[in-house]
A and B are shown apart, each in its own frame.
Chain A
């Protein structure tokens, strides 16, 4: 049975007088793995900010289950690697919001961080400086930071941007495992259709300030892709994986 954890009831988002998204009506349930797609400027990041509470609805009601905790993975280029912080230092930071402001993390917190790094396959790099890691490993650190406080929802903003194909697959498999094995709901913004169609269960497409939710990635057809992107796109299957091609 579906249990909603986030409900959008005619929600609109915008900046100042400018409305970016209007009258959104959809739910996110506790087992969701939803991909948010859309052209540049369609409001993907705005929706993400709204979900995270960084942007208040301009209208409507956004309901969240009481005590719902988010684990956020921002775009990697939003993180400045000038900081002399190790992977563990960064993951521990994921626990800071739960600690009183004056409390320093102790060995128990570091232990939790090491566990999160183990889950994301980074045990060997726990004490490596973040800036010395490859793009794929940096992304794993950010995922570890997001899951260290045991969130109910993992929110990812373009998690595979600028990654090579092997790292892209590794990151997506990690996210899939977190969803399947730990029951974390996943909300993922990505402009990479090939990533989205192979992993998510539902797709939310943003266009002209509106949202269209597809109940499964299989619901995407050449016709729906034409309506979305106004381009001839086809979905093919090779070795069990879907590939979106521009004809």
Chain B
């Protein structure tokens, strides 16, 4: 472990993945409680598709990633009037359509394959100082906004109709929620990758909801699970020469299974 901390890129990998892991594990509680886990994967895939488009046209992949994600944010936060198509199926459509589009963009982009592999599976070990600073600053900002907006976001997640009847502008707050999610996802996938971002949005929150018995403890447990899985995953990937992102996902998956089995054995 000591050896790991002597290497500069490991410092950066640990800091960035902990920051990303902590915030997504926090937001993930809302995502799981709102039963919108597939919004997470669809937005991540949209971000990847935008990135791929940026590579194809050779202009600012991050900006395109952000544009694509924001288009998804607008789509998912709209109250759809079409009753024949469910919101769930639109999310599924978005995922499938943007996955295939991303592959088409990559197939036609010069050197696209090497870059997109990083976006899909992530590479936290190759992050630059600039990326580290920018990502950390944006994620801290998003964390502060979430702390400020907690009261509105939890109300919206629990019972949007009653919130609306009480005069809360639920459409605006819903958009703000997805906007923060979209911006952080489009930034997060560039270092953590689609798979890790999605798993941060789901697994720590699932684990926390199994263990905790109130909202504060659920958020705290989720963040702790995300951060501990990150540190353990980064260490294991270093020690065993494994890919960083997938090792973190595996560790957090094991945490969830351990929590589930413990509950099953204790009968709680």
Jot down 16 A-B pairs with beta carbons below 8 A, ordered by A. A16-B81, A54-B164, A80-B35, A82-B35, A83-B157, A85-B214, A85-B215, A89-B215, A97-B155, A97-B168, A101-B149, A102-B149, A102-B151, A105-B151, A145-B162, A149-B166
Chain B proximity of A228: nearest CB distance (Å): 28
CB-defined contacts of B150 to chain A, threshold 8 Å: 104
Asked whether any CB of chain B lies closer than 8 Å to the CB of A217, the reply is: no
| B7 contacts partner chain A, Cβ-Cβ < 8 Å | no
Q: Tell yes or no: B88 within 8 A of A by CB.
A: no
Chain A nearest CB: distance from B53 CB in Å? 34
Of B157, B161, B163, B215, which is within 8 A of A97 by CB?
A: B163
**With A78-B161, A85-B158 in contact, do A129 and B213 touch (Cβ < 8 Å)?**
yes
**A206 to B: closest C-beta gap in Å:** 20
**Chain B positions within 8 Å of A90 at CB level:** 158
Q: Pick the contact of A99 from B151, B165, B213 — CB < 8 Å?
A: B151
A90 vs B164: C-alpha distance in the bound complex, in angstroms?
A: 16
Contact B159–A78 (Cβ < 8 Å): yes
Residues of B near A104 (CB, < 8 A) are: 150-151
Contact check, A101 vs B215: say whether CB atoms are below 8 A apart.
no
Partner of A102, one of B148, B209, B217: B148
Residue of B nearest to A16 (CB): B81
With both chains docked as a complex, state the minimum distance between the C-beta of B173 and any C-beta of chain A, in angstroms: 8
Q: Which residues of A contact B168 (CB under 8 A)?
A: 96-97
A74 and B214 contact, CB distance less than 8 A: no
Counting CB contacts under 8 A, is B152 at the interface?
yes
In contact, A93 and B148 (Cβ under 8 angstroms): no
Q: Nearest Cβ in chain B — how far from A78, in angstroms?
A: 7
Q: Is the interface of B mostly helix, strand, loop or mixed?
A: helix
Interface assignment of A192: CB less than 8 Å from any CB of chain B? no
Is B174 located at the chain interface by the 8 A CB criterion? no
Query: Is the CB of A245 closer than 8 A to any CB of chain B?
Result: no
B residues neighboring A (CB under 8 Å): 33, 35, 81, 148-152, 154-155, 157-159, 161-168, 209, 212-215, 217-218
Q: Do B33 and A82 have beta carbons less than 8 Å apart?
A: yes
A72 and B151 contact, CB distance less than 8 A: no
A89 partner, pick from B81, B152, B214, beta carbons under 8 A: B214
Q: Does the CB pair B215–A72 fall under 8 Å?
A: no
CB distance from A56 to the nearest CB of B (A): 12
| CB of A141, distance to nearest CB on chain B (Å) | 12
Name which residue of chain B comes closest to A70, CB basis: B165
Residues of A within 8 A of B212 (CB): 84
Which residue on chain B has the smallest CB distance to residue A78? B161
- B223 vs chain A, min Cβ distance (A): 15
Residues of A with C-beta under 8 A to B159:
74, 78-79, 93
Closest to A145 in B: B162
CB-CB < 8 A to B215: which residues of A?
83-85, 89
**Residue of B149, B155, B159 with most partner-chain A CB within 10 A:** B159
Q: What is the bound-complex CA distance between A100 and B150, given in angstroms?
A: 11
Instruction: Return chain B residues, CB-CB under 8 Å to A145.
Output: 162
A174 within 8 A of B: no
Name the residue of chain A whose CB is nearest to the CB of B150.
Answer: A104
Chain B residues within 8 Å of A111, by CB: none
**Quick one: closest B residue to A73, CB to CB?**
B162
B166 touches A80 (CB 8 A): no
Q: How far is the CB of A72 from chain B (nearest CB, A)?
A: 4
User: Knowing that A54-B165, A93-B154, A96-B152 are A-B contacts, what are 11 other residue pairs whose CB atoms are under 8 Å apart, sorted by A's residue number?
Assistant: A16-B81, A53-B167, A74-B161, A83-B157, A84-B214, A84-B217, A86-B214, A96-B155, A97-B166, A101-B152, A102-B151
A230 in the interface, Cβ–Cβ < 8 Å? no
What is the CA–CA distance of A145 and B209 in the complex, to the nearest angstrom?
24
Instruction: Please name the residue on chain A nearest to B213 by beta carbon.
Output: A84
Interface flags for A129-148 (1: CB within 8 Å of B; 0: not) read 10000000000000001000
Nearest chain B residue, comparing its CB with the CB of A101: B152
Q: How far is the CB of A60 from chain B (nearest CB, A)?
A: 21
Cα distance A85–B217 in the bound complex, in angstroms: 11
Q: Across the interface, do B149 and A72 meet the contact criterion of CB distance under 8 Å?
A: no
Asked if A239 is an interface residue, CB under 8 A from chain B, the answer is: no
* Distance between A17 CB and nearest chain B CB, rounded to angstroms: 11
